[in-house]
């Protein structure tokens, strides 16, 4: 199936393959995708493509996509949204009609434009390798043919085509490169397009080699893998050459999910996390992905953070909090018995007679505040978490001990000044935190 727009490239591809179909032993069809962006022009284009296919006795299909709506919902620019939907539409048509290959009419000039676009955007070797001639069932038979050769072919045979008005403006980066940059480069090097083709071929060859290397390296690094995440052994990565590590990380992240918006800057942040970050530190990546440095592994996960349930406490007892992986051991002792116990992250002491039972263990809520012991004034819980550098995805599993409407203690961190043990305290509520044994 040929992706047919009515422009010179796709018309040329259709003409060439139609003339060779018997020799090649293939059956042809063509598909026109209406992007919904040029309603005044698309009916004429559809008719042109349909009539062309009728003359060549080739089945013709068409499908409409809503680029504007997709761009808004996915927060993409129109070009990205159009490309995403166009490929999906072509795949859909090919699947419906049991077609083995999708032939697209990208040419050598498109290849040069793509490489320059990626160069401007700061892409690495993969971006500079340009448009692949073959990707899954997509083939690009004209990828090494220059645009002028295509136009000469059509002119020599008096074959008509349609000009897309959007290609004539300088609204898009590709058009600016096409109309201004490439002509200037051709003035410096008349064979510029072929020079780009050689360069992209070299990059693709090197990409193939690195892909094999990365595959072998990643297989040795995987500690655990699931639908929502992957864990990699830290020790080998800490001493790994950065050029290989970047590729390993990108592959590992894409093994977990297709991350639109993942940039070289994100990868560099994860590299820095591996090389010099502390255990527990993390990087937030696009689309709710997180890279967390554990003690012996790097965790790449898209799993939604856990949220603590609510637990009512009617008396001092052991309270297992499965979401947080801890158990709270609550006991009430006399002030004398509590004197020898130091406050800290593992143990909290509160004036039991100031507490209102039943107590409640719950996660944070919007608008929460408390009076940190020793601070002297009210503080928003959100601000406290930020000041303490508590990672965002851990904040919903931090247990809060609530007495009445007051947060009496952020367990594992700080008690409230109002519930602090003082000279008048007679009974003390001890809260000891221990790891929950599975």
- Summarised one tens digit per residue, pLDDT across range 71-96 is 898 888 888 899 999 999 999 999 99
Together in a domain, 81 and 180: yes
CATH of residue 44's domain is: 3.40.50.620
Q: How far apart are CA 300 and CA 290, in angstroms?
A: 6
372 in a domain, yes or no?
yes
Query: Which ranges of 298-389 does DSSP label H, i.e. alpha helix?
Result: 335-338, 381-387
CATH of residue 361's domain is: 3.50.40.10
Together in a domain, 132 and 248: no
Q: Kindly calculate the radius of gyration of the chain based on its CA atoms and give it in whole angstroms.
A: 32
Together in a domain, 79 and 128: yes
Together in a domain, 122 and 249: no
Q: How confident is the model at residue 4 (pLDDT cuts 50, 70, 90)?
A: very high
Together in a domain, 296 and 331: no
369 in a domain, yes or no?
yes
Together in a domain, 315 and 251: no
Together in a domain, 242 and 338: no
Which of 281, 301, 321 is at the close of a domain? Answer: 301
185 in a domain, yes or no?
yes
Q: How far apart are CA 433 and CA 346, in angstroms?
A: 5
pLDDT digit string, tens, across residues 305-344: 789 999 999 999 999 998 888 999 999 999 887 766 666 6
- Cβ atoms of 133 and 34 within 8 Å: the answer is no
Share of the chain above pLDDT 70, in %: 98
Lowest mean pLDDT among 117-131, 212-226, 247-261, 379-393: 247-261
Q: How far apart are CA 311 and CA 331, in angstroms?
A: 16
Together in a domain, 182 and 249: no
Together in a domain, 59 and 189: yes
Q: How far apart are CA 5 and CA 104, in angstroms?
A: 10
Q: CA 37 → CA 42, 104, 165, 169, distances in Å?
A: 9, 20, 11, 15
Together in a domain, 291 and 363: no
**Is 80 exceeded by the pLDDT of residue 171?**
no
Q: How far apart are CA 434 and CA 327, in angstroms?
A: 5
- Cβ atoms of 95 and 84 within 8 Å: the answer is no
pLDDT of 258 reads 66
pLDDT digit string, tens, across residues 275-293: 999 888 889 888 888 999 9
45 in a domain, yes or no?
yes
Structural tokens at position 281: 């530190």
Over residues 33-61, mean pLDDT: 94
Which of 279, 301, 323 is at the close of a domain? Answer: 301
Q: How far apart are CA 284 and CA 300, in angstroms?
A: 10
The number of beta carbons lying within 10 Å of the beta carbon of residue 3 is 23
Domain count, the chain: 3
Together in a domain, 257 and 287: yes
pLDDT of 259 reads 66
User: What's the chain's length in residues?
Assistant: 438
Structural tokens at position 239: 């001493």
Virtual torsion, Cα 172, 173, 175, 181, nearest 10 deg: 160
Together in a domain, 188 and 249: no
Domain encompassing residue 244: 226-301
CATH of residue 257's domain is: 3.30.465.60
Largest CA distance in the chain: 103
**Is 90 exceeded by the pLDDT of residue 303?**
no
Secondary structure (DSSP) of 135-199? ETTEE-TTTTS-HHHHHHHHHHTT------GGGSSSSSHHHHIIIIIHHHHHHH-TTHHHHHHHH
> pTM (2 decimals)?
0.68
Return the SS3 of 314. Answer: coil
**Is 80 exceeded by the pLDDT of residue 426?**
yes
Q: CA 202 → CA 11, 71, 184, 245, distances in Å?
A: 30, 34, 24, 21
């Amino acid at each position: 199936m040929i992706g047919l727009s009515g422009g010179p490239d796709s018309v040329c591809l259709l003409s060439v393959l139609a003339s060779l179909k018997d020799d090649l032993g293939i059956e042809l069809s063509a598909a026109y995708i209406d992007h919904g962006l040029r309603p005044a022009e698309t009916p004429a284009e559809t008719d042109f493509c349909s009539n062309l296919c009728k003359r060549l006795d080739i089945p013709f299909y068409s499908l409409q996509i809503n680029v504007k709506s997709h761009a808004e919902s996915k927060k993409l620019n129109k070009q990205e949204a159009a490309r995403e939907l166009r490929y999906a539409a072509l795949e859909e048509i090919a699947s419906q009609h049991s077609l083995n290959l999708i032939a697209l009419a990208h040419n050598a000039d498109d290849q040069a434009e793509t490489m320059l676009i990626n160069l401007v955007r700061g892409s690495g070797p993969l971006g500079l390798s340009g448009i692949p001639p073959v990707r899954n069932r997509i083939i690009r038979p004209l990828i090494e043919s220059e645009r002028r050769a295509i136009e000469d072919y059509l002119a020599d045979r008096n074959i008509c085509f349609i000009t897309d008005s959007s290609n004539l403006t300088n609204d898009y980066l590709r058009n600016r490169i096409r109309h201004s940059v490439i002509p200037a480069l051709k003035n410096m090097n008349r064979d510029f397009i072929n020079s780009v083709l050689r360069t992209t071929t070299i990059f693709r060859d090197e990409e193939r080699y690195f892909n094999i290397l990365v595959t072998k390296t990643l297989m040795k690094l995987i500690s655990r893998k699931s639908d929502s995440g992957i864990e990699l052994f830290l020790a080998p990565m800490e001493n790994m050459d950065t050029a290989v590590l970047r590729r390993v990380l990108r592959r590992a992240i894409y093994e977990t999910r297709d991350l639109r918006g993942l940039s070289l800057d994100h990868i560099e942040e994860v590299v820095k996390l591996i090389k010099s970050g502390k255990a527990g530190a993390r990087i937030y990546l696009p689309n709710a992905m997180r890279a967390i440095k554990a003690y012996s592994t790097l965790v790449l996960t898209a799993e939604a953070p856990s949220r603590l349930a609510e637990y009512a406490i009617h008396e001092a007892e052991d309270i297992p909090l499965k979401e947080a992986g801890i158990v709270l051991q609550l006991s009430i002792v006399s002030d004398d018995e509590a004197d020898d116990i130091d406050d800290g992250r593992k143990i909290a002491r509160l004036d039991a007679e100031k507490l209102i039972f039943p107590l409640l263990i719950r996660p944070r809520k919007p608008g929460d505040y408390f009076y940190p012991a020793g601070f002297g004034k009210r503080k928003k819980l959100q601000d406290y978490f930020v000041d303490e550098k508590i990672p965002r995805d851990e904040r919903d599993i931090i247990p809060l001990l609530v007495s009445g409407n007051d947060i009496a203690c952020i367990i594992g961190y700080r008690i409230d000044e109002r519930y602090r043990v003082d000279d008048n305290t007679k009974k003390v509520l001890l809260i000891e935190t221990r790891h929950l044994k599975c």
